Structure 1
């Protein structure tokens, strides 16, 4: 997950009364472990026998505030697949952490213990990043063996909010979490998704100690269209109080908002001011006042001209160097937007939020780890812009950042004093009318050979369906454009001959205003079968293949979509002379689901026959992203209705 720079400015207070109790230095495993295998389902390929995470806050030999973390695992493996998956265990390594020690061993089914020596701890280099990493190489593991390992790292302390996930896709026994801290540092905790709450160990006097001791945590398997990471059992901890200097609410959004404002809106040099003026003119925005068209031009220019690097060098977040070189990291890109907008007095707010598929923003527990992604909100337009996502455009922020809460930071002025005022608000998702997939299809049968159908189709895409294509159409060459159009035609059937194609509204600036439109003329014999004198016409296939959801097991996790959406399809069929359709009622399919008297899911197909002109309408929409488990069958019914329509075959027989 992305981490944006937040400057706590409280370290000086934490350095008072350094204590070195070194819990981590005395940690070890049992010399002769006695894991209970009696409760294990032997049909499973994997089971967790121990999982412990220990976090100790303290001070190193130079009185620097630091965090020591121990992770200890014991895992029973009972299939070749799982043995293969766990024959390498990677050890944490980064520029902000130091691996202090590690141990690993294999306990064979007969109880024999084989401890890995130094030759089993290998070093490798990532070809792409050139970063070095270490890993345990387990050898000779057989079915029914236990691999056990633990390691200790020292890292820059994560005390403003850290997520610890304890649930996996396999069951676990003996799951523990411990946090130790000096007596003057009081932490706060919150458990999610059914994980037991953290309790304080009141018997310990030399340090503060909080813990979870869960005898068993059930497996949670990933399901289709689920926010799996956000649904697992986890906890978040944060530093709440420093009793040595009476500092409370250390991790509060009030403090964080002020620090973020200072970082992203700090006073700039005259040179930077001139650079920003030049940039505004280069973007063909003579006077940036906050009109939507102006902001669209500005965003298009910046996302075309600036390169976002994953590096962490100072020059990538220094505004003067960014404007000179047009290269920035993500925090640097946010600075470009905030300073441009601020210099031109465009009303806006900086929004910090999270990807709800990974971690849903908790509006009741203030912690920094919810602040992983950034949007810019324009209150006068009631719309959002993503400064860092190249594939997003104003009005259509990354969908998983919507339908979620966020920390909105706006400028507060008192005379010459400026600061950031933060408040938690909901980021409304866009309605289904904003993201449309529409099709108008006209079908004629061949006069000489009625098994060939001639198709005249217009497909229109808007909103999120168009966002990854329309803003970049000017970068797509003719060959790839042709392939794109062909792919839409062949979504009906691979055996189709496209005779004419055209793309309308391919100007990138039309995104969000006019739908990206594909006009296609084609013919095929793949939709008709002859059965004696009758013609079997698979009219439903014209809308393209549809998802069909099957659920053999009972649904466990809520269903979660990226965005709400709607589909509108009109099919006009000119029935060939001398034929009639005998099963028109097969076209009538309607299923819907309502909440509080309002339809939130709908599939509705119906027809109208006027002489030999058959008009078929098939509309579908999903006005809600998240579907509770108890309502899953209602959602599935709508999805499967479209799949049922896709299978509709009309029977045309000679009249009389």
Structure 2
């Protein structure tokens, strides 16, 4: 659920808060209660802290301000941005010799200033005629080149932006490549309009104060390190930032009125998704009476049937506008819905079928999680259904998921649970915080079986391979068999199965339990085929070199030089159990079977491999598991050892020697 869409659908006009602000200065008034942006005619170059010595560029100063002003019957927001960047090397030159200033939707950009200060102190201004408007990937920018950018130079720019009024905002002051010496943020509003603000990951925010008839919130942080993307992490939640939202109306008699709480959102969301008209109710009744009877009449079976039926017969088109896609009569007539429409359809149908449920506004682990302390409705854009009778969840807006599995990034975090309560004929919902659990590690598998024989000429490994996936491991692939045409399915199968031995010579593919509804009983999705792997064997005189480790496919390696900065986080806990059976050719013995034995084990993760031999058959059992979702920094070295153990096994080569 997009709160903006929800607010629009609720016709939640801002007129209710139009009386909040007292008289504000004219739009072109220079603030006399803050230090104005410094733009000296002869700027001086800055020194860079030694701690940032390896960075290609360093932001010396990043200062921004956001002011809410009353204009006529409404509000507007005036933002300023000012940055100074010190260039250290050729990569830094490449990063900042051309600038793209983002223009937010519905905004007006003005008063752009930009210049380069060369290493020798020469100032090269960007003239207005050099500033162009451009659009890339649907986003608007102001683009211009920075002349004279060199090692030891500095790039500086400033611009202003007028935006339509908004309730919730966020500013990030940290990115992947460029550290920052000083970051500052200023939030300004009329006295009767009180915002809440919170800094994250080191960014410090002051309480609000009234200065010169304005409410002021100031934020600052020094020496913000760069934070590049790292494997097995969701970085965004760890970035230095400030979030803010309108919290109180202090107009009228001076008694503050609390605004836009999580409780308010819960009531509005529940009402929006469950309220219906008589016309909608009749259309739903006609639709529901034509539903086939589910084969499994248990509560879980009914939920599974309803979800699959709706997602099979209603097209979810996220681009539909609210008017087209969230009205139930329109949805049931056109068989097309947007996210809001499909949620409303599920809610009404579940009520009709007397299936108890709670609507959940869920955090996204790959983005910014919901925070109970700051009611930022913009973060509450993901909706799940929770079924108390089964303890399981449904992901209504995703046609590629099926009960009881939801997108794994929406599990393992906090959510707001909207539970209905009735007072006579009036029904509303309470909003409480809870955890959306992720499925246990042993319910999700990425297993493999490989039976290996040798060709007659002993120059190719003949492998019968099976990929066996359950839980979240299968959920990633099952949509292939519902939404792709047959030829595309064949291509996808080859891509999946070729990971066994990294060979494209794949034949006799068979797929088992590919249906979306197979998720209900967690039936394993099995893809098997015959694979020819000539590259996994080498003839070395009387010896055969068998690259048995490559049977498990290419593995992630984590031999990094830079110290780890982020904790590790898995997409989902899981196991990877692999069995490799190697049938030795007649007259050959394996000389280094002990190389197959590995053991890197910890209580919550591990990689072990061992072998047994019966006659000419060598069987290798590999158990790899990640039993929890998150691994803190203090456990990262162990995590890295487990990850690298599978990469080390991948390099194992068996030496087969022919007996004299």
The answer to whether TM tops 0.5 is yes
Distance 1:478 1:321, change over 3 A: closer
- Partner residue of 1:635 out of 639, 645, 653: 639
- Partner residue of 1:137 out of 125, 132, 144: 144
Contact kept? 1:284, 1:297, Cα under 8 Å: no
Distance 1:418 1:35, change over 3 A: farther
Displacement after TM superposition at 1:451 (Å): 4.1
Please list the CA deviations of residues 408-458 of structure 1 after superposition, one character each: whole Å capped at 9, or x if unmatched: 112111111111210010111112222211222222334x43444332222
Equivalent position of 1:597 in the other structure:
none
Contact kept? 2:502, 2:554, Cα under 8 Å: no
Q: Does 1:297 align with 2:301?
A: no
In structure 1, distance between residues paired with 2:125 and 2:104: 22
Displacement after TM superposition at 1:290 (Å): 7.8
Displacement after TM superposition at 1:125 (Å): 4.7
Equivalent position of 1:70 in the other structure:
80
Once the two structures are overlaid, the 10-residue window that deviates more, 509-518 or 41-50, is 41-50
Contact kept? 1:53, 1:72, Cα under 8 Å: yes
In structure 1, distance between residues paired with 2:278 and 2:294: 20
Equivalent position of 1:198 in the other structure:
206
Distance 1:430 1:216, change over 3 A: same
Equivalent position of 2:67 in the other structure:
56
In structure 1, distance between residues paired with 2:586 and 2:44: 79
Contact kept? 1:24, 1:70, Cα under 8 Å: no
Contact kept? 1:178, 1:212, Cα under 8 Å: yes
Contact kept? 1:121, 1:134, Cα under 8 Å: no
Distance 1:140 1:23, change over 3 A: same
Equivalent position of 1:645 in the other structure:
649
Matches within 5 A, 1:413-424: 413-424=422-433
- Partner residue of 2:601 out of 586, 592, 605: 592
Q: Does 1:334 align with 2:343?
A: yes
In structure 2, distance between residues paired with 1:585 and 1:579: 17
Contact kept? 1:288, 1:294, Cα under 8 Å: yes
For structure 2, list consecutive stretches of 5 or more residues without a partner in the other structure. Answer: none
Please list the CA deviations of residues 137-187 of structure 1 after superposition, one character each: whole Å capped at 9, or x if unmatched: 12424214433333333334333x432211223122331111112222332
In structure 2, distance between residues paired with 1:393 and 1:247: 45
Matches within 5 A, 1:410-489: 410-446=419-455, 448-489=456-497
Matches within 5 A, 1:380-399: 380-399=389-408
Contact kept? 1:470, 1:507, Cα under 8 Å: yes
- Partner residue of 2:117 out of 91, 102, 107: 107
Q: Give me the TM-score of the superposition, normalised by structure 2.
A: 0.89
Equivalent position of 2:327 in the other structure:
318
Once the two structures are overlaid, the 10-residue window that deviates more, 527-536 or 189-198, is 527-536
In structure 1, distance between residues paired with 2:172 and 2:391: 35
For structure 1, list consecutive stretches of 5 or more residues without a partner in the other structure. Answer: 595-599
Q: Does 1:153 align with 2:157?
A: no
Q: How many correspondences in the alignment?
A: 642
Distance 1:78 1:181, change over 3 A: same
Q: Does 1:122 align with 2:132?
A: yes
Displacement after TM superposition at 1:257 (Å): 1.1
Contact kept? 1:405, 1:425, Cα under 8 Å: yes
Matches within 5 A, 1:533-612: 533-594=542-603, 600-612=604-616
Displacement after TM superposition at 1:198 (Å): 2.6
Contact kept? 2:173, 2:183, Cα under 8 Å: yes
Contact kept? 1:363, 1:405, Cα under 8 Å: no
SS for the counterpart of 1:470 is coil
- Partner residue of 2:238 out of 231, 234, 254: 231
Please list the CA deviations of residues 570-606 of structure 1 after superposition, one character each: whole Å capped at 9, or x if unmatched: 1222333333333222221111222xxxxx1111211
Distance 1:399 1:586, change over 3 A: same
SS for the counterpart of 2:213 is coil
Equivalent position of 1:91 in the other structure:
102
Distance 1:151 1:529, change over 3 A: same
Displacement after TM superposition at 1:555 (Å): 0.7
Q: Does 1:376 align with 2:385?
A: yes
Contact kept? 2:18, 2:75, Cα under 8 Å: yes
